[in-house]
């Protein structure tokens, strides 16, 4: 029993040390990225590794802590090519301003008004009229049913009067 307790204590201490080292390493990388940003180094002089650090830094600023880790996992996880490319592209967009955009959410189409049937893209516009047509057809059907029931009720009342 004592051996198991000692083993668990040692395992807990080693785990805590490993976590502290990992957090310190991550903080070191983020401070390196912050130093690069503050230096104002030209984008043409940056390597892909430096761009990845800068992109990771910006992502941490926008989505700190656990949310950043979740997003990293969704993009392939730590060390994946997809995550590396996402961080590099984020740095090119935000630090180098290589991909200028007009408004928010430009990767989905028409910007801020994309859901109000303006513009085009993945989430709407120039094709959403079918949804409006469906609502009109539903309203006409409900109106027709109410009209038909009212007509049947009036005819039924007239038959009973005769």
pLDDT at 103 over 80: no
Rounded mean pLDDT, 107-117? 49
Residue 142's pLDDT band, with cuts at 50, 70 and 90, is very high
pLDDT of 65: 85
pLDDT of 20: 47
Measured distance CA(108)–CA(37) in Å, rounded:
29
Nearest to 53 by CA among 72, 30, 69: 30
Tell which wins on pLDDT, 128 or 90: 90
Specify the pTM: 0.47
CA dihedral 48, 54, 56, 62 (to 10 degrees): -150
Residues in Cβ contact with 121 at an 8 Å cutoff, skipping those fewer than 6 apart = 108, 109, 110, 114
Measured distance CA(86)–CA(64) in Å, rounded:
16
Residue 50's pLDDT band, with cuts at 50, 70 and 90, is confident
pLDDT of 127: 57
Rounded mean pLDDT, 130-142? 88
Tell which wins on pLDDT, 28 or 105: 28
């Amino acid at each position: 029993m004592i051996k198991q307790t000692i083993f668990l204590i040692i395992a807990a201490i080693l785990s805590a040390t490993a976590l502290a080292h990992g957090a310190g390493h991550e903080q070191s990388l983020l401070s390196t990225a912050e130093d690069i940003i503050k230096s104002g180094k030209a984008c043409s002089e940056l390597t892909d590794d430096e761009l990845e650090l800068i992109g990771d830094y910006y992502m941490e600023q926008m989505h700190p802590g656990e949310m950043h880790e979740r997003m990293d996992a969704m993009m392939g996880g730590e060390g994946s090519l997809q995550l590396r490319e996402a961080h590099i592209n984020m740095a090119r967009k935000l630090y180098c301003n290589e991909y200028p955009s007009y408004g928010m959410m430009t990767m989905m189409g028409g910007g801020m008004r994309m859901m109000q049937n303006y513009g085009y893209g993945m989430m709407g516009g120039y094709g959403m009229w079918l949804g409006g047509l469906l609502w009109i057809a539903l309203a006409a059907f409900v109106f027709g049913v109410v009209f038909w029931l009212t007509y049947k009720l009036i005819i039924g009342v007239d038959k009973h009067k005769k």
